[in-house]
């Protein structure tokens, strides 16, 4: 009973300090002041999930990447939006800077995550603009080249693994080395894997293999870098309404809908919320985890 009363008191103190006089009579001045301080700190904590931090998002020009950039920027992070689509990045950065506040100055960078030199050049540009590496890294860049196993070309297999798996490795290795060299003690890497990497899917042997590799890479990264203050976790989306899935024929998508208990695809914004949680210190003891976001699939 006392616990319920305390929550009620704390809530009202949070809304209006003038109520403190009412509760002071019953509980004393020190108790009311303590509750007021706790309430204020909780509000600060909520408002500063990622505020003031520099965040890199790859594959930022569309879909989950774009939604993640918008959400992190809204929560106070400064964004480095990375993609090999310069026009898409330019539009996004213009949008983000129109609503920027405080010290936020969002930037875009061209990157081919499958190419080591391109990744290293992207880091140099980030350091030039921001004088520090990002302490939040979202490895979201990914592609598909679907075909049945017996017909899949070696080129299509290699391309998917080069972007999805090798790209995640290159970005993580390059930027985490810089994080360590700059003495940053709190950092978070969030890798976009896929539920397909766990269960497989017809016509996507290359994609499934690449995303299974991302999940394994995530767990190993967490074990190696956790002692350095760098957490690494994976998000495993199910079917999401993005440009990638919009290219899938409706008859194929309709076959999967009955397998999703929630009866719909996710929105990119719903995946972004989970990414933002893992990027923030709200998840400070979450490391090496894989979180399914599938609607129950």
What residues are labeled active site? 207
Residues 6+ apart with CB under 8 A from 89: 60, 61, 81, 82, 83, 108, 109, 110
Q: Which residues pair with 191 in a beta bridge?
A: 139, 234
CA distance 261 to 240: 14
User: Strands 54-58 and 230-237: what pairing?
Assistant: unpaired
Beta strands in the chain (DSSP E): 54-58, 78-83, 107-110, 136-139, 187-192, 230-237, 290-293
With beta carbons less than 8 A apart as the criterion, state whether 277 and 212 touch.
no
CA distance 19 to 34: 14
Nearest of 93, 94, 50 to residue 74 by alpha carbon? 50
CA distance 291 to 217: 15
With beta carbons less than 8 A apart as the criterion, state whether 271 and 293 touch.
yes
- Around Cβ 190, how many Cβ atoms within 10 Å? 26
CA distance 153 to 147: 8
CA distances to 16, 91, 100, 247, 268 from 87, in Å: 47, 6, 20, 21, 20
């Amino acid at each position: 009973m006392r616990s319920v009363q305390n929550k009620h008191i704390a809530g009202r103190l949070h809304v209006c300090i003038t109520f403190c006089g009412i509760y002071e009579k019953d509980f004393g001045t020190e108790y009311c002041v303590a509750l007021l301080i706790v309430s204020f700190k909780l509000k600060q904590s909520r408002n500063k999930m990622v505020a003031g931090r520099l965040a890199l998002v790859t594959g930022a020009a569309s879909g989950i990447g774009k939604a993640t950039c918008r959400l992190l920027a809204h929560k106070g992070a400064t964004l480095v939006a990375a993609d090999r689509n310069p026009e898409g990045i330019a539009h996004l950065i213009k949008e983000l800077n129109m609503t920027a506040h405080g010290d936020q100055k969002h930037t875009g960078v061209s990157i081919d995550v499958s190419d080591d030199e391109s990744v290293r050049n992207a880091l140099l540009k980030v350091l030039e603009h921001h004088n520090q590496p990002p302490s939040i890294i979202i490895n979201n860049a990914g592609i598909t080249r679907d075909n049945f196993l017996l017909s899949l070309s070696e080129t299509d297999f290699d391309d998917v693994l080069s972007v999805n798996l090798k790209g995640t490795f290159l970005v993580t290795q390059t930027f985490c080395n810089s994080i360590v060299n700059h003495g940053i003690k709190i950092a978070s890497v969030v890798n976009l894997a896929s539920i397909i990497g766990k269960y497989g899917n017809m016509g996507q042997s290359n994609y499934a293999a690449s995303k299974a590799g991302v999940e394994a890479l995530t767990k190993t990264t967490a074990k190696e870098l956790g002692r350095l203050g760098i957490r690494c976790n994976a998000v495993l989306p199910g079917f999401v309404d993005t440009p990638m899935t919009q290219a899938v024929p409706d008859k194929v998508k309709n076959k999967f809908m009955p397998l999703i208990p929630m009866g719909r695809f996710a929105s990119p914004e719903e995946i972004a919320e989970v990414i933002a949680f893992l990027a923030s210190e709200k998840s400070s003891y979450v490391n090496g985890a894989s979180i399914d976001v599938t609607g129950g699939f």
